[in-house]
Amino acid sequence: MENLEDNPLPFELDTANALTICILVCVSIISMCLNNELKIIA
């Protein structure tokens, strides 16, 4: 139980890391889609 007391917010940190990874993936996918649309328009 000492480890749990040393790290009081393990789940919050995990969710924050997961949200950051999801945001990065979404941004990369959106940028790829925009690049494809620009190529089609050009």
Per-residue pLDDT, 30:
95
Tokens representing 25 are 């993936």
Q: Note if the pTM is more than 0.75.
A: no
Instruction: Retrieve residue 24's tokens.
Output: 């990065």
Report d(CA 42, CA 21) in Å as an integer. Answer: 32
Check residue 42 and report its DSSP letter: -
Domain ranges of the chain: 17-41
d(Cα 31, Cα 37) in Å, to the nearest integer? Answer: 10
Average pLDDT per block of 10 residues along the chain, 42 residues long = 59 86 96 88 69
User: Which position has the token pair 């999801």?
Assistant: 22
Which secondary-structure segment (H or E) carries 8? Answer: none
Residue 8's pLDDT is 62
